[in-house]
Structure 1
Amino acid sequence: MPEEQQGPVVHQARRGPVILITIDRPKARNALNLRVLTDIAAALAAAEADPDIRAAVLTGGAEVFSAGADVDMLSGQTAATYAASPNAAAFAAIRDTGLPVVAAVSGYCLGGGCEIALGCDLVVASDTAVLGQPEIALGIIPGAGGTQLWGRRAGRGPQALAALTGASVDAFAARRMGLVDRVVPAAALVETAVEIAAGIAARAPLAVRAAKTAMRAGADMPLTAALDHEIALLAPLLASEDAAEGIAAFQDKRPATFKGR
């Protein structure tokens, strides 16, 4: 029976205000095909529209995050067809979600899988994680951020090594260079990521999304413009109910209850 008829390839589970999204193609080492990509994008879009969900964790489980994109997705593509393809649109939708996303990475995190992980806001890696962009070995380059995202996290040198040689790095090297934010044992990976996401979810939702917007947009702006953009995002927050609640809670020495308005 074809895989497409064997059940879901992406699972969702609620953990309070956190949505846990898990890639589930173990026989293919969680390789990304169009169905996986669109299911992840759809899960994030639905979560972003749900006011009760305030953060997401994206994982492949404790064994492998993703060994990369199915080569079949690239075979026969041209510049024009790939740019307009649903694969590219799904990668962009995952990367551009307004929901804060924590990637929980274990085992192989290669090619398109690595691009998805590094496009998340935070990356938690297990001590078995291996990150890389092996596309150069196939005579191509990454097409979903692999020539850009390493450099933004780790600098130009690590980016050049990844994109030009296809060399991979283990979790500890990735942590030292800033590619990942925390390294934990594989058995604790998902729960650690959910805990971090829950900490984000406990903050004021409007402020969290504004902070994400400021960071993402500011990366493409000169500093002065980025600072102006930050102020523009702050201004409406100052008049929000959440800001009033946060200040009152601080003064009253009690936990704040944020409502996203």
Structure 2
Amino acid sequence: MSTELIKVKTDEQVGIITLNRPQVLNALNLQLIDELVNELERMDQDKNIRVIVLTGNSKAFAAGADINEMAEESAISIMQKDQFAVWDRMSLISKPIIGAISGFTLGGGCELMMNCDMVIASETTLIGQPEVKLGVMPGAGGTQRLVRAVGLRKAMEMLLTGDPITADQALAYGLVNKVVPVEAYYNEAIKLAKQIAKQPPLAVQLIKKAAHKAEDLTLTEGMQYERNCFYLLLASEDRKEGMQAFIEKRKAHFQGK
């Protein structure tokens, strides 16, 4: 599989994907997104990987869509390409995705960040949806996920002014989990990923699915979905191992079965 615009590696049970267009601040073109989603899907099927970390570099996680690629497109050509369909596949990834972000996280970069389940940000991070300043609007979930993440009032301010917010503001709004010095953001994300990778994989994946359902279902429907996931986990070998290890006062060894 070609990965010209991303770098891929593993660290124990953590898969790491690095956006790699530093000369254009990791601007998101069609090729990069295709490579990224294909790799996410591959890691999702790899039994040796339990958690995925998505990152860029200290200067930019991703500064937005590649405007040079879009400038000459028409409404019809964009619609025919259906370029956002590949973004929809990200929501089907069952394993946790941790974003390790720094610097410019704008437009499509912000939308990509919001596809992550948890986010560690450097103190130099700037997050925003500046599409309005170009006469357009977000198209990969910016209006929908941002409202769900920070509420209507804050989202409207960010969307209609196009102005970015700082890492500390993003932390206060609930957009990121933690803000650390720029030299520590990547290692902090890997540390969190390794902590989660030690948990039983089936439980982790079903918890992710149930938590995301909370945005789409009524409380009653969500409670029933959660309950069904709970019942399913009772049949797993990891559940037996976890409870037996608790009784025997030893460390559990989870295998994802």
TM-score w.r.t. the length of structure 2 is 0.95
Aligned partners of 1:31 and 1:66 also within 8 Å: yes
Taking the aligned partners of 1:201 and 1:83, their CA distance within structure 2 comes to 39
RMSD value over aligned CA atoms? 1.6
Please give the secondary structure, in 1, of the residue aligned with 2:189. Answer: helix
Please give the secondary structure, in 1, of the residue aligned with 2:142. Answer: coil
Distance 1:86 1:12, change over 3 A: farther
Tell me the residue number matched to 2:14.
18
Q: Deviations over 1:75-103 (max 9, x none)?
A: 3242x654553531222222431121000
AA in 2 matched with 1:138: L
Superposed displacement of residue 61, structure 1: 2.0
Tell me the residue number matched to 1:246.
242
Superposed displacement of residue 128, structure 1: 0.3
AA in 2 matched with 1:143: G
Please give the secondary structure, in 1, of the residue aligned with 2:120. Answer: strand
Within a 5 Å distance, the mapping from 1:68-87 to structure 2 comes to 68-75=64-71, 76-78=73-75, 81-83=77-79, 85=81, 87=83
Within a 5 Å distance, the mapping from 1:91-240 to structure 2 comes to 91-240=87-236
Q: What's the % identity of the aligned pairs?
A: 38
Aligned partners of 1:82 and 1:88 also within 8 Å: no
Taking the aligned partners of 2:155 and 2:251, their CA distance within structure 1 comes to 42
Superposed displacement of residue 191, structure 1: 0.9
Taking the aligned partners of 1:106 and 1:126, their CA distance within structure 2 comes to 5
1:65 aligns with 2:61: yes
Distance 1:48 1:119, change over 3 A: same
Q: How many pairs are equivalent?
A: 255
AA in 2 matched with 1:173: Q
Structure 2 unaligned residues grouped into runs of 5+: none
